[in-house]
Structure 1
Amino acid sequence: MLKFFYEEIDFKVPQSLKTSKWLKNISLSEGYKLGDLNYIFCSDDYLLEINKQYLEHDYYTDIITFDNSEEEGKLEGDIYVSIDRVKDNAINIGVSFDIELRRVLVHGLLHLIGFEDSDDDLKQQMRAKEDECLLLY
């Protein structure tokens, strides 16, 4: 079951039902069903503390994905999204907040599916898949 949570931020996912269906359809199209998948929307400072505590990184990021999957073919996890970073990213790359938010949401899902972005080639593959998924919204 896909759920949205909010920590230390005044925000609600726009078109949450449509967004949930879109994410579920992407997972199904990649051969996965959704188990317990939680998106936690938060502030920069909240996500910075998660980054420090669990990954030992002392910098802001837009998303952190924790894979809790135990059953093959079933996606489960906690995906933390900094709304502050999404807003800044949208401005910096010249897209709307809603488009950048969807890109970040699908980015986390793609990590659970197995996509990586640890080098330039993998980042390019991830971005191409994000773009493909955005067209399905």
Structure 2
Amino acid sequence: MISFNYENDFKLPNEAVVSAWIASVISSENFKEDEINYVFCDDEYLHKLNVDFLNHDTLTDIISFDYSVGKTLQGDIFISTERVEDNAKDFKVTFENELYRVLVHGVLHYCGYKDKTDEDAKLMREKENFYLNTLN
């Protein structure tokens, strides 16, 4: 089950469509969906998580806590809508495009994709782009 939770004033306008899309990504990657919670928040909220749990004193757009077992995906994905908005401006894309990219990015991490090396980041971006095209 994919759920959306809010710690700020943001509200995802099309939860059912996004949930079905994320579920299709998981299935396409040959994984099984369990409980995945998206939590939308502001920079302050996510920064505190970044410091408290990861010892990173930086702003970020997404933090995912992966509780998956084998091929069954479960976890909590926290997204700062403030960072998404700023990144959308920086990358010259719409807020919605950047938001959907971050949404799928989190679940792709659960599927085993990494982004720490240039090669891994390139593959992650290719996967993001592929799945973004399935949403439109």
How far is the alpha carbon of 1:119 from its aligned partner? Answer: 1.1
- Residue type of the alignment partner of 2:106: G
In structure 2, distance between residues paired with 1:110 and 1:84: 22
Picking from 91, 96, 117, the partner of 1:93 is 91
Partner of 1:37: 36
Deviations 1:24-60 (A, max 9, x none): 0000011011101000000000000000000000000
In structure 1, distance between residues paired with 2:13 and 2:133: 17
In the superposition, the TM-score normalised over structure 1's length comes to: 0.97
Partner of 1:2: 2
Helix, strand or coil for the counterpart of 2:134? coil
Helix, strand or coil for the counterpart of 2:98? helix
Helix, strand or coil for the counterpart of 1:135? helix
- Residue type of the alignment partner of 1:15: N
Helix, strand or coil for the counterpart of 2:93? coil
Partner of 1:63: 62
- Residue type of the alignment partner of 1:2: I
In the superposition, the TM-score normalised over structure 2's length comes to: 0.97
Q: Could you list the structure 1 runs, at least 4 aligned residues long, displaced by more than 2 angstroms after superposition.
A: none
Helix, strand or coil for the counterpart of 2:96? helix
Instruction: Provide the identity percentage.
Output: 45
Helix, strand or coil for the counterpart of 1:58? coil
What is the root-mean-square deviation of aligned Cα atoms in Å? 0.6
List runs of 5+ in structure 2 lacking aligned partners.
Answer: none
Alignment of 1:73-88 (within 5 A): 73-88=71-86
How far is the alpha carbon of 1:15 from its aligned partner? Answer: 1.1
In structure 1, distance between residues paired with 2:6 and 2:90: 24
In structure 1, distance between residues paired with 2:133 and 2:68: 27
